Structure 1
Amino acid sequence: MNRRQFIQQALAFSAGFSFSLPEVFAAPVTRPDLAIVTGKNYRDVVVQSIELLGGIEQFVHTGDTVVVKPNIGWDRNPEQAANTNPLVVKGLIELALDAGASRVDLFDHTCNEKRRCYQNSGMVDMVKSFGSKKVRLEHIDPRKFIPVQIEKGKSLTSWEIYEQAISADVYINVPVAKHHGLGVLSLGLKNSMGVIGGNRGKLHHDLGQRLADLATVVSPTLTVIDATRILLRNGPQGGSLDDVKQLDQVIASVDPVAADAYGTTLFGLVPEDIASTVAANKMGLGQMDLTKVNMRKKTL
């Protein structure tokens, strides 16, 4: 069952099902759940992080529609670390196209004025560099928000979600790692705020649990955390380069909880410090105990 079929069944309130291959066909699992790669060439860092997980062909297939969801919420340049670095995003788009994606869409429900955010973040120029109609950076269209029942939600039972975020064959979540005044940190789970409509301020009450609830329906194929530069203070929008630390690192995982759990360590914190990580772990959405996560690190 592919991602689209799963989501369609969830939206139709159908019972899910699973299947398993006979044991004779099962291959031993040797790939890591979490890959951490460090290096100065951000394209190579991205490529290597995905290679450690088994290669992009494990996730994107010929003809797939792909959403690459960066954080583009603020009128800030890449050096200020409030948005995802466009070079990280570019590397993922290149991989998706090489794997045969029919289309790659990018979007974010911005906090500052959308045109300034898209332009100053570097995303507009990055997308133009492809010169391809297969790569599309679009402004959020309010008509594309659809009401979705959150059947497994503990604090949220329904919310408006951007249709492409749940209908795409492949959804790659690409947040930047940064401080957040309300949620302590903004990582992968928090990045789902960029694909929802409605009064987003209402989610700030019981934010951790509500982000975990959203993760039951906005389910990434991959989480790739941009830690090339991280925002240590005054997030989520920052502004001062004094608040930025350059790490030249990318964290990639098939487990969104493990990705966020590792992301906390970059700030001298532990996974238990982040309410959304704890809530998602309790809901069985991933593993936050890093001693139980199969991870690999590589420096280029």
Structure 2
Amino acid sequence: MTEKAYFDRRDFLKKMGVIGAGIYLAGCAKKNNPSLPTPFSDTTQAATAVEAQENSNAASTQTPSYGDVYLSVAHGEDAAELTRRAIAAIGGIERFVSRGADVIIKPNICTDYYPYEYGATTNPIVVATLVSLAFGAGAGRVRVMDNPFGGTAQSAYKKSGIQDAVEAAGGEMEVMNSNKFLTAEIPDGLDIKEWPFYKDILSADVVIDVPIAKHHGTTGLTLGSKNLLGTILNRGQIHQNIHQRIADLVSRVRPALTVVDAVRILMDNGPTGGNLDDVRRANTVIASADIVAADAYAATLFGKRGSDIGYIQAAANMGLGTLDLEAIKIEEITV
């Protein structure tokens, strides 16, 4: 995609009918807002949550419990302020983090190859801001972790800049211990019914998913749903029927909150990048309790619809969220 095409994204959205008057997407006045799946990390509730989502969609009379803003998009050059404003717009961090909560923040720290300016790893300022917000809401513990496929975790944490930023904010960087990966059932999985997960991801009070938006050679894009591959072992086997298997993982982890870092985005040669010419500044942060909606909106930054990305469509088909951006209210903020 050329730089001109990239910056013509709003024209693309208008052609899709996604941007309407004010902060509503086109069609909002005609459609009821779909209810959000109940955020949770204790996935023994998975079947109940999916059933509740199906029932609420059938009734089509309910609105999101936190108010009428389903997804927020903040634009500007200050990554910390973008993050704060995006979270505030969907009800504030207190909606997700209660006093004493055990919080895990899952950024994308896939390799130790390059610093974050290369667009392969999540912006450390976005991550550190979420750490600070969680503590501000009274979190008892805030850990940040990933399971890199390139280099060691220690090296990747340092090279990305995330370790220094998180520790300065009072958070902990945790290296995933191989002994803490345990096979867990995936009750709602359509293709995989069990997989080895990092057990703390499944037991934490709150999981916040913080991907960077970037190109991926196999799946098209890496966004919130695909970022969950960093919570498991044997990720190579996920590449067999990868789109459905990613959706199955989403049904098990179900992050309470997804915050997409699109301050810098990697337009090509993902997931690892390595060429600054492939990086574009989108100066955007997206936030929603609905991982599918967050991913669907992030896809538009690349000139795509959510339905163009197989795992986003698969997750929507499973009732894990909505990719219908015309059916929800989105608040766009300029900082």
TM-score, reference length from structure 1: 0.90
Map of 1:217 onto structure 2: 252
Q: Deviations over 1:40-88 (max 9, x none)?
A: 1111110000000011111111000001100011222111010000000
1-structure distance, mates of 2:50, 2:321: 18
The Cα of 1:116 is off from its aligned counterpart by: 2.1
Query: Would the aligned equivalents of 1:2 and 1:169 in 2 still touch at CA under 8 Å?
Result: no
Which one of 47, 53, 57 corresponds to residue 84 of structure 2? 47
1:128 aligns with 2:167: yes
Instruction: Call closer, same or farther: CA 1:16–1:285 in 2, change over 3 Å.
Output: closer
**Runs of 4+ that moved beyond 4 A:** 13-18, 26-29
Q: Would you say how many aligned residue pairs link Structure 1 and Structure 2?
A: 286
1:104 partner SS: strand
Equivalent residue letter for 1:206: N
C-alpha change, 1:14 and 1:88, in structure 2 (3 Å) is closer
State the alpha-carbon separation in 2 of the partners of residues 186 and 9 from structure 1.
27
Which residue is equivalent to 2:218? 182
> Are 2:89 and 1:57 aligned?
no
Of 237, 240, 243, the match for 1:208: 243
CA distance in 1, matches of 2:161, 2:77: 18
In structure 1, what is the Cα distance between the partners aligned to 2:216 and 2:256? Answer: 25
Which of these residues, 111, 130, 136, is aligned with residue 74 of structure 1?
A: 111
How far off is 1:287 after superposition? 0.4
Write the mapping of 1:1-300 to structure 2, written as runs, cut at 5 A: 3=40, 6-8=42-44, 30-75=67-112, 76-114=114-152, 115-130=154-169, 132=170, 135-197=171-233, 199-300=234-335
Q: Note the residue ranges of structure 2 that are not aligned, 5 or more in a row.
A: 1-37, 53-62
Question: One-letter code of the match for 2:282?
Answer: L
Q: Cα gap change, 1:122/1:27 in structure 2, threshold over 3 Å: closer, same or farther?
A: closer
Corresponding residue of 1:21: none
**Secondary structure of the structure 2 residue equivalent to 1:92:** helix
Q: Is the 8 A contact 1:174 1:188 kept in 2?
A: yes
Cα distance change, pair 262–27 in 1 and its aligned pair in 2 (3 A): closer
Unmatched segments (≥5 aa) in structure 1:
19-25
Relative to structure 1, the CA distance from residue 193 to residue 28 in structure 2 (aligned partners, 3 Å threshold; closer, same or farther) is: closer
**Alignment check: 8 A CA contact 1:80 1:231 kept:** yes
How many Å apart are 1:128 and its aligned residue?
Answer: 2.8
Distance 2:241 2:251 in 1: 16
Q: Percent identity?
A: 42
User: Match of 1:228, SS?
Assistant: strand
The one-letter amino acid paired with 2:136 is: D
Larger RCO (CA under 8 A, 6+ residues apart): 2
The whole-number CA distance in structure 2 between the counterparts of 1:240 and 1:62 is: 43
The answer on whether the counterparts of 2:66 and 2:90 sit within 8 Å (CA) in structure 1 is no
Contact 1:229 1:244 in 2 (8 A): yes
Identify if the C-alpha distance between structure 1 residues 212 and 254 changes in structure 2 by more than 3 Å, giving closer, same or farther.
same
The structure-2 alpha-carbon separation of the partners of 1:246 and 1:17, relative to structure 1 and needing over 3 Å to count, comes to closer
Deviations along 1:136-175, one digit per CA (max 9) or x if unpaired, are: 1011111111111111111111100111111111110000
> How many Å apart are 1:127 and its aligned residue?
2.3
How many Å separate the matches in 2 of 1:160 and 1:137? Answer: 21
Q: Distance in 2 between matches of 1:59 and 1:69?
A: 15
Q: C-alpha separation between the residues in 2 aligned to 1:29 and 1:70?
A: 24
Q: 1:16 to 1:222 in 2, by over 3 A?
A: closer
C-alpha distance 245-15 of structure 1, shift in aligned 2 (>3 A)? closer
- Asked if 2 retains the 8 angstrom alpha-carbon contact of 1:31 and 1:52, the reply is no
CA RMSD of aligned residues (A): 2.1
Q: Alpha-carbon deviations, 1:82-136, whole Å to 9, x = none? A: 0000000011001000000000011111011122211110012112313x4xx21
- Deviation of 1:16 (Å): 9.5
CA distance, structure 2, for counterparts of residue 179 and residue 27 of structure 1: 31
Please tell me whether the aligned partners of residues 184 and 195 of structure 2 are also in contact (alpha carbons under 8 angstroms): yes
Aligned equivalents of 1:2, 1:287: Cα separation in 2: 14
Q: Structure 2 counterpart of 1:176, which letter?
A: I
